[in-house]
Structure 1
Amino acid sequence: MSASRPSPEATAAPGRRVLGVDSGGSGLRIALGTADAAAPVATAVCGAPVRTGPAGIDAGHLLEQLLPAVRSLLARSGAGEDAGLDTVAIGAAGMATLGERLRTELPAALEQALGVRRLALAADAVTAYAGAVGQRPGAVVAAGTGMITLGTDLTDWRRADGWGHLLGDCGGGAWIGRAGLDAALRAHDGRRGGSAALLSRLEAVFGPAPGLPALLYPRTDRPAVLASFAPEVAACAGHDPVAEGILREAAAHIAEAAAAVCPAAGADGEPCEVALTGGLFRMGDPLLVPLREELSRQVPQARAVPGSGDPLTGALSIARALAVGNLRLPLHPTLLRVAGEEPGQGSV
């Protein structure tokens, strides 16, 4: 594979095939495209999430799913399943901390199997950024079950939170759901800060309150179970001050993380765009109204905007930019690595 970032002069020929991959909790999503067109030619979904073990993300398991799916996409596109690929960008949840096997094993494997010349390996927060903001300075809030913010001035990356439901993800779905269940159990016990409305919703969703620990603690998907209660908090927020307060506190946490990563306003005074992406924001106004208020207070140089694309869109856009030598997003050893390059450390 190329050992250096392609120059602008070394642009890809029209129609050269590129691939974007998004690996997350719901499995692999794959988009085949060309270097000179924004829209994908064909897409595929592999249902099984890539395994993670003591050695990190399992590169072999990813390849077991990816290679047959790519060959099928190539055949469907008319290129033939034996056709090669110019450039691939893979975004993966856990890439920053658990991606060493991917960085070590995938370059040679993809070159041998598909003729891949250029490979970018990115954290899913980076592909979320590329999909939502593009290759401009700004910041992204990626919020679903968890919550992470990422920002760049195109010199380096800054990251805040994303530490998981036990250590952080403050303001994310699991955080909101847990706070709502806490308020419900306080009402059950007669403790201060309880919410009868949320207790009623707990019982409707999970059954009698005393049975909740037995339902929750043995589960391996506890963050998702906690996050499943977040919409109940949002539904109660219009008439329950405790639920409203939980969402206001969540908004404050999210804005605080955005403030930590958002670059300063440009010399022309243009505000920093903060793209809001992820399923959490489908809650709508109960969360978005206090979040906009908090962003205005904590990050006055910011302007909140909806994300223009998702992480799969971002992975495909990174592959296209790399193919034509126009990748402007900063490289980083674990957040965005191009095979064969030695990126600077950045400040994350």
Structure 2
Amino acid sequence: MTGGGGTSGDTAGVLAVDSGGSGLRVVVGTAALGALAQRASAEPVRTGPRGIDPDHLLGQLVPMVRSLADETGFTALRTAAIGAAGLGTLGDALRAELPGALHREFGTETVALAADAVTGYIGALGERPGVVVAAGTGLIAVGTDLSRWRRADGWGHLLGDCGGGAWIGRAGLQAALRAYDGRPGGSERLMARAEAEFGPLTGLPGQVYPRSDRPAVLASFAPHVAACADDDPVAAEILGAAARHMADTAAAVCPSVADARVALTGGLFKMGTPLLRPLEAALAERLPHAPLTRAAGDPLHGALHLATRLADGALTLPYDENMLSVTRTPGRAADAQF
């Protein structure tokens, strides 16, 4: 993304937002110049009985956008694109309230609300057919043939997210406990790592089960599995199984068109070769028609691409009530003030 600067005489811009598990990132810019200025908050947007909390989102977003408007000189933000984690199942209140609030606050006339997996897709592959595997603590795959969106997994650490960080960490801890018990399939290397990380293994259930951030606790052990994989066959098999799960999930939603591509996004892939080597092999076997392509950008890049393409009226991606919806409110709100 480009750095700060002026608007070159423009007074209306675009707003792009990435709301995920690690917080909120916001940029403003123009369709011609891209991002001009950026802000971030490390506080994730809350969820509650109504799903994603629009008031909590706006409470963080509005001050950041006002600061960005002062920095760039915009007097309105005509188009906005917001990528939000959990939008598909927890986004009803956000869809009902956010477009009107942005219209009142910033004169926003077009608001795109997208699942963060969709903005991740757009950031990685742009407007071309294929599939993106997004893997961090959890795991989801999103694919499109440019006529509709499809998703697979993303069901959370108890019911799915197979191959994601929590899945790998849990499998590693299970192998550690098997070694502690003397059961087959255990790993003394992983047992030693688990004891160094969590203390005596008899206390491990008490450190995992009561935690509200249980998926993150499990995922914190995934890098230890990767660190052991070169000379521990149990750790290597865990990563191999994770790779096969990822490839199966990608294959479930990848279009069969000849120009499809596969891309990977998310922090889990920072584990590098121990995971990427078996994953590349599994993807080549399951999806021989769709070569693996380096992701061009992240979900914030995807939100900005979405906002600028909407501003130009040139977006070619399909709309979907849960995955990518667009609300238009003609005319600037009279009470929008910067």
Question: How much does 1:75 deviate?
Answer: 0.4
Partner of 2:261: 273
Partner of 1:128: 120
Q: Aligned partner of 2:310: which letter?
A: L
Is the partner of 1:141 in helix, strand or coil?
A: strand
The question of whether the paired residues in 2 share the 8 Å contact of 1:14 and 1:36 is answered with: no
Question: How much does 1:250 deviate?
Answer: 0.3
Q: Does 1:54 align with 2:43?
A: no
Q: Does 1:239 align with 2:235?
A: no
Sort the Cα spacing of 1:303 and 1:15 in 2 relative to 1 into closer, same or farther, 3 A.
farther
The question of whether the paired residues in 1 share the 8 Å contact of 2:109 and 2:328 is answered with: no
1: distance between equivalents of 2:33 and 2:162?
Answer: 38
Is the partner of 2:293 in helix, strand or coil?
A: strand
Q: Does 1:189 align with 2:177?
A: no
Q: Aligned partner of 2:72: which letter?
A: S
The question of whether the paired residues in 2 share the 8 Å contact of 1:277 and 1:306 is answered with: no
Question: How much does 1:16 deviate?
Answer: 4.0
1: distance between equivalents of 2:140 and 2:295?
Answer: 14
1: distance between equivalents of 2:154 and 2:328?
Answer: 28
1: distance between equivalents of 2:154 and 2:25?
Answer: 22
Q: Per-residue CA shift, 1:17-63, capped at 9, x if unaligned?
A: 0010011112210011101123x100001222111001111111111
Partner of 2:38: 43
Q: Aligned partner of 1:71: which letter?
A: R
Sort the Cα spacing of 1:41 and 1:340 in 2 relative to 1 into closer, same or farther, 3 A.
closer
Partner of 1:219: 211
Q: Per-residue CA shift, 1:286-313, capped at 9, x if unaligned?
A: 1111101111111111211221111111
Deviates more, 1:299-308 or 1:203-212: 299-308
So what's the TM-score if we normalise by structure 1? Answer: 0.90
Q: Following superposition of structure 1 onto structure 2, how do residues 1-348 of structure 1 map, counting pairs within 5 Å?
A: 16-38=12-34, 40-79=35-74, 83-266=75-258, 270=259, 272-340=260-328
- Structure 1 residue ranges without an equivalent (≥5): 1-12, 342-348
2: distance between equivalents of 1:326 and 1:260?
Answer: 29
1: distance between equivalents of 2:273 and 2:170?
Answer: 20
Is the partner of 1:302 in helix, strand or coil?
A: coil
Q: Aligned partner of 2:189: which letter?
A: A
Question: How much does 1:78 deviate?
Answer: 3.0
The question of whether the paired residues in 1 share the 8 Å contact of 2:11 and 2:73 is answered with: no
Q: Aligned partner of 2:124: which letter?
A: A
1: distance between equivalents of 2:41 and 2:274?
Answer: 34
- Structure 2 residue ranges without an equivalent (≥5): 1-8, 330-338
The question of whether the paired residues in 1 share the 8 Å contact of 2:121 and 2:132 is answered with: yes
Q: Aligned partner of 1:42: which letter?
A: A
Is the partner of 1:304 in helix, strand or coil?
A: coil
The question of whether the paired residues in 1 share the 8 Å contact of 2:12 and 2:76 is answered with: no
Q: Which runs of 4+ in 1 moved over 3 A?
A: 13-16
Identity %: 61
Question: How much does 1:15 deviate?
Answer: 7.1
2: distance between equivalents of 1:14 and 1:246?
Answer: 53
Q: Aligned partner of 2:68: which letter?
A: L
Sort the Cα spacing of 1:317 and 1:48 in 2 relative to 1 into closer, same or farther, 3 A.
same
1: distance between equivalents of 2:163 and 2:321?
Answer: 28
